[in-house]
Amino acid sequence: MSEPALVALRSASFAYEDGPFVLGGLDFEVREGRALALLGRNGTGKTTLMRLLSGGLRPDTGELTLEGRPVTYDRKGLTRLRTTVQLVVQDPDDQLFAASVGQDVSFGPLNLGLPDTEVRARVDEALSALDIGHLADRPTHLLSYGQRKRAAIAGAVAMRPRVLILDEPTAGLDPDGQERLLATLDGLRGNGTTVVMATHDVDLALRWADEAALLTPDGVRTGPAVTMLARTDLLRRAGLRLPWGVAAAELLRAQGLLTGSAAGPRTPEELSALARDRAAASRIRADD
Ligand SMILES: Nc1ncnc2c1ncn2[C@@H]1O[C@H](COP(=O)(O)OP(=O)(O)OP(=O)(O)O)[C@@H](O)[C@H]1O
Ligand SMILES: [Mg+2]
């Protein structure tokens, strides 16, 4: 039998008070070790889904499971959930509240009742993973937006979650900031952290994710990112466009420059490398 999903929603429905159902009969799984991108139109329920997965909201019907066991919403059950799954909300100002970055990042580990030395080790580790060790003593309200985003993520990382859920983490970051964040996430994944990210950026999803979940009014469809992000019908319903890399791969295949199961380019650098390889191959043929 295959391993149960690390965290999953089974037939989950949810409506905000006095509102219509945002999510109905939803099945959604996060498997250990995956990089999963969650995409969909504004208002389709990505944030709601993430809050259900991290226990901030409770499904009206259906259930949330952790390693196959239903989550109980008592103190013990929620502690088990929060030490496994951490959510970083989209707006860092909704997450940061302590006077300084160091204090903010230490809040979660302190709350777990960990000894001071362990708290310090976790805070140092999280600050350095996010490249903000130099900001430890800085008042949170004096940080730039990108710095606040990194500080908010550091707070979640300090909990050493097995699943890190990020709601639009790259929105508002400059290109270099986005690259550095992706490198940080690669580092965390290298240490075994499972990462789920909501994003509207199809190019980023194609490049970063191994699985993509497209949320539409008909429900959620999950599969390999390269497959899901080439499904023009689903993309249209999810309010998304074709990723640049998928369009380039189609063109390259039509020109016979990409054959068989060869993967298409996901970045401009990969496209350049592909073009160099093809030019070299045709030079070799010309020399024959
Ligand atoms: N606190 C709330 N109370 C009532 N309705 C809410 C609340 N939060 C969200 N909603 C509604 O639930 C639906 C889903 O919202 P949600 O924030 O999950 O969407 P989203 O996919 O994250 O959108 P976006 O891409 O804009 O972030 C929307 O119709 C929204 O208006
Ligand atoms: Mg949202």
Over 232-254, what HEC string results?
HHHHHHCCCCCCHHHHHHHHHHH
Check whether 282 has a pLDDT greater than 80. no
pLDDT number for residue 220: 95
pLDDT at 287: 72
Q: Which atom of ligand 1 is nearest to the CA of 90?
A: 27
Determine which residue's CA is closest to atom 25 belonging to ligand 1: 42
Name which residue sits closest to atom 16 of ligand 1, judged by CA.
45
Does residue 111 have a pLDDT over 80? yes
Place 18 in a pLDDT band, splitting at 50, 70 and 90.
Answer: confident
Return all residues near 61 (Cβ < 8 A) that are at least 6 apart: 11, 12, 13
Residue 285 confidence (pLDDT): 72
- Best mutation site among 47, 60, 165, 197 for ligand 1 pocket (most ligand atoms within 8 Å of CB): 47
Q: Is the CB of 40 under 6 A from ligand 1?
A: yes
pLDDT for 1 equals 56
Which residue owns the Cα nearest ligand 1 atom 30?
43
Mean pLDDT of 230-247: 92
Q: Ligand 1 within 6 A of 199 CB?
A: no
Closest ligand to C-alpha of residue 22 is 1
Sheet with strand 163-167: strands edge to edge: 85-88, 163-167, 194-198, 35-40, 211-216, 219-224
Report the chain's mean pLDDT, rounded to a whole number.
93
Nearest residue to 266 (alpha-carbon basis) of 35, 27, 14: 35
Region 103-120: mean pLDDT is 96
Ligand closest to the CA atom of residue 41: 1
pLDDT above 70 for 160: yes
> For 30-34, 65-69, 125-129, 174-178, which range has the lowest pLDDT when averaged over its residues?
174-178
CA 88 – ligand 2 centroid, Å: 12
Report d(CA 231, CA 216) in Å as an integer: 13
**Is residue 93 predicted with pLDDT exceeding 70?**
yes
pLDDT of 76: 94
Please say if the pLDDT value at position 246 is more than 60: yes
**Pick the residue with more confidence: 97 or 280?**
97
Per-residue pLDDT at 39: 97
- pTM value is 0.93
Residue 14: band (very low, low, confident or very high) from pLDDT cuts 50, 70, 90 = very high
Which residue is closest in CA terms to ligand 1's atom 26?
Answer: 42
Taking residue 20's Cβ as centre, other Cβ atoms within 10 Å add up to 7
Q: Relative to the CA of 215, which ligand 1 atom is closest?
A: 21
- Predicted confidence at residue 267, as pLDDT, reads 85
CA of 165 to the centre of ligand 1 (A): 17
75 has a pLDDT exceeding 60: yes
Shortest-distance Cα residue to atom 11 of ligand 1: 43
CA of 5 to the centre of ligand 2 (A): 24
Q: Does any ligand 1 atom lie closer than 6 A to the CB of residue 47?
A: yes
pLDDT at 77 > cutoff 90 = yes
Cβ 46 under 6 angstroms from ligand 1: yes
Q: Residue 255's pLDDT is what?
A: 86
| Residues, CB within 5 angstroms of ligand 2 (ion) | 46-47
